[in-house]
Amino acid sequence: MAHALEISELRKSFGGLPAINGVSLAVAEGERRLLLGPNGAGKTTLFNLITGELRPDGGAIRVFGRDVARGRPDRCAHLGVGRTYQIITLFPRSTLAQNVVLALLGVSPRRWDPLTALSAHPSLWERARAVLDRVGLAAGADKPVMETAYGEQRRLEIAMALAQAPRLLLLDEPFAGLSREERRDMQAVLGAIPREVTMLMIEHDMDVALSFAERITVLHYGQVIVEGTRGEIVANPRVREIYLGE
Amino acid sequence: MKLGAPVFAVALLLVPLIPSPYYVNVASQILIAAVFASSLNLLVGYAGLTSLGHAAYLGVAAYAVAWLTTLGGLGHLAAALVALAVTTATAACFGVLALRGTGLAFLMITLALGQILWGVAYRWVSLTGGDNGITGLTRPRPFGFDLTSPGAFYYFTLAIAAPTVAAIALYVSSPLGAAVQGMRDQPRRMSALGHNVWMVRWLTFVFAGTGAGVAGILFVYYNQFIGPQTLNLTNSAEVLLMVISGGAGTVLGPIIGAATVVILKNVVSAYITRWVMLLGAVFVLIVVFMPDGLGPGLHRLWHTRSRSAS
């Protein structure tokens, strides 16, 4: 089976402190993989390395067979990698629809067009609305982001990633800070993402995360401690030691 | 509000009816400054890149036209086109250097590059005439129209300035313009979304340089003289003040700022010798009471007034 993501012997240090210390993992196409690990395990760093926001010190990263270890974030997006951020990174003064349009433009050749008004592209705005509808935000499409609730901003993060029709989706704690009802909404949104989209998710909420993922990789101090199915992970003594402090 | 634009357009066309040629010339200066400030606004307001070297591009275009039409022996149209090409090429090179940084680093590099050009204009006497500058230019005669009278030159300036400002307004409303504004607020996010941050900024930098080049050509036609003081840091700072005082990141802001500065400079200086002090005081007031500039500030004032009136 072809791999959506292949990482081998990846290393990254910050000022002599290894954040990622020889990580290897492979995610099959269409797989839902959960990345677990305590704070500082290197999960977000791993995402930043995959998308090219950080340069690895060593090792290889392949996305759909293409080497991206020396790549740029914009090229990575064009390979079909979408991501959401743990710390919400939106355009607060723009409307929800404008945020999604920026995401749509990012993977469209139209982004280089300096000669026509953005408002004169109705198809873009229609597509933006359709994506917002998928995450249940169509009603507030013309509201500025800063006037929306936190849970809606989390869903907008997902909408911007989905707008780009990614083949590999990196979700960095999509449930962080959400209420019980909002979690259910988010679960429904993620559950509706087509099967062929490969997803790699960082999440601490065990209940939603474990119901989401088929396989789980546990990171600790920049190293893969264990990888396996849900049952294997829960039964693993190292995981219990790290995660539950037993 | 819907009436605002046509009224403004008619007012612009009626300016040469003012009996005093002095005020018609002031109006031409405002138009030139408005183009200059609008081009800088692309960087300061929309790209979030504060430049202190924008006079470089106005100066390069002005020197190029002056040199080409006098010593170079070129016709006016050819000289203007070559000057624009030279200015654009200069901005393309300077952009590569300046965009190695953002924020303060960008500001310092643009400042340094501007000072280098000033030094060149001052010292390379065989090319630029040094301190004496280049004199003896004539204004062009487009389609045989004589542009020596203030009114005729005003219309010529308006015919060039209006489409240039319109092109800048179109640019910032376009997909590329939306991208450059996104990069001002969230460069990392824009990059992860597939936008080439460096390239978009560079293209905006080059376009801003070309826009300043248009202003430079008009500037040298107006003055029929160019000297190194045009490339002075003071000039770069002044145009930055126009953008910030008028309202960075808005289309009308730099135009309002340009009008404010040019009027203070020309009209007030006729009555008050310490006009620079007054200019300073006005800017302090603007920054204190309308920190986002005169354009947005007056707009807000107008709306609260009309709301409380109704």
CA distance linking residue A203 with residue A36, whole number of Å: 7
Note whether residue A85 is domain-resident.
no
Asked whether residue A178 falls in the same domain as residue A200, the answer is: yes
How many separate domains does chain A show?
A: 2
**Residues linked to residue A67 through DSSP beta bridges, in sequence order:** A62
Asked whether residue A3 falls in the same domain as residue A74, the answer is: yes
What are the two backbone dihedrals, phi and then psi, of residue A245, each rounded to the nearest 5 degrees? 65, 25
Q: Which residue has the tokens 């936008």?
A: B195
Q: What is the pLDDT of residues A99-122, one digit of tens each?
A: 999 999 999 999 999 999 999 999
Note whether residue A201 is domain-resident.
yes
The full 3-state SS of A31-83, as one line of letters, equals CEEEEECCCCCCHHHHHHHHCCCCCCCEEEEEECCEECCCCCHHHHHHCCEEE
Judged by a CB distance cut-off of 8 A, whether residue A78 touches chain B is yes
What's the gap between Cα A90 and its chain centre?
14
Note whether residue A87 is domain-resident.
no
Asked whether residue A156 falls in the same domain as residue A184, the answer is: no
Note whether residue A214 is domain-resident.
yes
Among the partner-chain residues B192, B195, B197, the one whose CB lies closest to the CB of A51 is B192
Asked whether residue A68 falls in the same domain as residue A13, the answer is: yes
For testing contact with chain B, the best of A91, A99, A101, A172 (most B CBs within 10 A): A91
Long-range contacts of B287-290 (CB under 8 A, 24+ apart): B287/B245
Asked whether residue A118 falls in the same domain as residue A187, the answer is: no
Distance from CA of B216 to the nearest CA of A (A): 23
Of A165, A194, A213, the one marking the end of a domain is A165
- Which helix (H) or strand (E) segment is A228 a member of? strand A223-229
CA distance linking residue A94 with residue A143, whole number of Å: 8
For testing contact with chain A, the best of B42, B168, B184, B193 (most A CBs within 10 A): B193
Asked whether residue A100 falls in the same domain as residue A57, the answer is: no
**CATH label of the domain that carries residue A175:** 3.40.50.300
Instruction: Look up the ipTM and state it.
Output: 0.89
Closest residue of B to A103, CA-based? B193
The pLDDT value given to residue B308: 65
Note whether residue A31 is domain-resident.
yes
Asked whether residue A170 falls in the same domain as residue A70, the answer is: yes
CA distance linking residue B213 with residue A69, whole number of Å: 41
Note whether residue A66 is domain-resident.
yes
A69 close to A60: Cβ distance less than 8 angstroms: yes
What are the two backbone dihedrals, phi and then psi, of residue A213, each rounded to the nearest 5 degrees? -100, 150
pTM of the model: 0.92
Asked whether residue A9 falls in the same domain as residue A75, the answer is: yes
How far apart, in Å, are the Cα atoms of B244 and each of A121, B249, B284?
31, 9, 12
Asked whether residue A148 falls in the same domain as residue A196, the answer is: no
Residue A216 belongs to domain spanning: 1-80+166-246
Residues of B in contact with A111 (CB under 8 A): 175-176, 179, 194-195
Closest residue of A to B167, CA-based? A115
Asked whether residue A130 falls in the same domain as residue A238, the answer is: no
Q: What is the pLDDT of residues B178-237, one digit of tens each?
A: 999 999 999 999 999 999 999 999 999 999 999 999 999 999 999 999 999 999 998 999
The β-bridge relationship of strands A223-229 and A215-220 is antiparallel
Average pLDDT estimate for A45-73: 91
The answer to whether the Cβ–Cβ distance between A91 and B186 falls below 8 Å is: yes
For the beta carbon of residue A171, count every other beta carbon within 10 angstroms.
27
Asked whether residue A184 falls in the same domain as residue A212, the answer is: yes
Asked whether residue A170 falls in the same domain as residue A240, the answer is: yes
Of A165, A200, A226, the one marking the end of a domain is A165
The answer to whether the Cβ–Cβ distance between A103 and B171 falls below 8 Å is: no
Of A141, A165, A189, the one marking the end of a domain is A165
Note whether residue A156 is domain-resident.
yes
Average pLDDT estimate for B79-86: 96
